[in-house]
Amino acid sequence: MTTELKHHWQPAERQRHAIAGPLPGGRQHGEGETLDTLCGRRVVAAESNELNWLWPTCDDCMEVAKERVGAKT
Protein backbone atom coordinates (compact mmCIF):
# COMPACT_ATOMS: atom_id res chain seq x y z
CA MET A 1 0.00 0.00 0.00
CA THR A 2 1.31 3.39 -0.91
CA THR A 3 0.47 6.66 0.71
CA GLU A 4 2.00 8.67 -2.10
CA LEU A 5 -0.54 10.98 -3.62
CA LYS A 6 -1.17 10.47 -7.30
CA HIS A 7 -2.88 13.81 -7.51
CA HIS A 8 -4.29 16.53 -5.34
CA TRP A 9 -7.18 18.92 -5.60
CA GLN A 10 -7.05 22.64 -5.96
CA PRO A 11 -9.79 25.24 -6.27
CA ALA A 12 -9.30 27.17 -9.47
CA GLU A 13 -11.61 29.13 -11.75
CA ARG A 14 -14.75 28.29 -9.80
CA GLN A 15 -14.19 24.53 -9.84
CA ARG A 16 -12.08 22.10 -7.89
CA HIS A 17 -9.58 20.59 -10.30
CA ALA A 18 -7.15 17.74 -9.77
CA ILE A 19 -3.44 18.30 -10.32
CA ALA A 20 -1.08 15.42 -11.05
CA GLY A 21 1.42 14.42 -8.37
CA PRO A 22 1.68 15.27 -4.70
CA LEU A 23 1.60 18.84 -3.48
CA PRO A 24 5.12 20.25 -3.82
CA GLY A 25 6.60 20.22 -0.35
CA GLY A 26 3.19 19.45 1.09
CA ARG A 27 2.27 23.09 0.84
CA GLN A 28 -0.74 24.72 -0.70
CA HIS A 29 -0.59 26.32 -4.09
CA GLY A 30 -0.64 30.06 -3.97
CA GLU A 31 -3.36 32.18 -5.44
CA GLY A 32 -2.56 33.10 -9.02
CA GLU A 33 -0.28 30.12 -9.60
CA THR A 34 -0.69 28.52 -13.04
CA LEU A 35 -1.44 24.81 -12.87
CA ASP A 36 -1.96 22.02 -15.40
CA THR A 37 -4.99 19.98 -14.44
CA LEU A 38 -5.81 16.33 -15.06
CA CYS A 39 -8.59 17.44 -17.43
CA GLY A 40 -5.95 19.01 -19.65
CA ARG A 41 -6.65 22.62 -18.85
CA ARG A 42 -4.28 25.30 -17.66
CA VAL A 43 -5.93 27.11 -14.80
CA VAL A 44 -5.02 29.85 -12.39
CA ALA A 45 -5.20 28.66 -8.81
CA ALA A 46 -7.62 30.39 -6.51
CA GLU A 47 -6.97 31.05 -2.87
CA SER A 48 -7.38 27.86 -0.84
CA ASN A 49 -10.06 28.90 1.58
CA GLU A 50 -13.16 27.35 3.06
CA LEU A 51 -15.47 28.97 0.55
CA ASN A 52 -13.49 27.99 -2.53
CA TRP A 53 -13.39 24.37 -1.42
CA LEU A 54 -17.18 24.37 -1.81
CA TRP A 55 -16.89 24.89 -5.54
CA PRO A 56 -18.14 21.96 -7.61
CA THR A 57 -15.65 19.28 -8.55
CA CYS A 58 -14.55 19.28 -12.19
CA ASP A 59 -16.19 16.20 -13.69
CA ASP A 60 -13.41 15.63 -16.21
CA CYS A 61 -10.77 15.72 -13.50
CA MET A 62 -12.81 13.32 -11.39
CA GLU A 63 -12.97 10.81 -14.25
CA VAL A 64 -9.22 10.93 -14.80
CA ALA A 65 -8.56 10.84 -11.06
CA LYS A 66 -10.67 7.71 -10.66
CA GLU A 67 -8.73 5.99 -13.41
CA ARG A 68 -5.42 6.97 -11.86
CA VAL A 69 -6.29 5.37 -8.53
CA GLY A 70 -7.68 2.31 -10.29
CA ALA A 71 -11.28 2.81 -9.25
CA LYS A 72 -13.95 1.07 -11.25
CA THR A 73 -16.66 3.50 -12.23
Q: Which residues pair with 21 in a beta bridge?
A: none
- CB–CB of 48/68 below 8 Å? no
Cα gap 14→29, rounded to integer Å: 15
Q: Check residue 37 for interaction with Zn ion (CB under 5 A).
A: yes
Q: Give min distance, CB of 17 to Zn ion, in A.
A: 4
Q: Which residue, 37 or 45, has its beta carbon nearer to Zn ion?
A: 37
Q: Check residue 29 for interaction with Zn ion (CB under 5 A).
A: no
Q: Check residue 58 for interaction with Zn ion (CB under 5 A).
A: yes
Binding site for Zn ion (CB under 5 A): 17, 37, 39, 58, 61
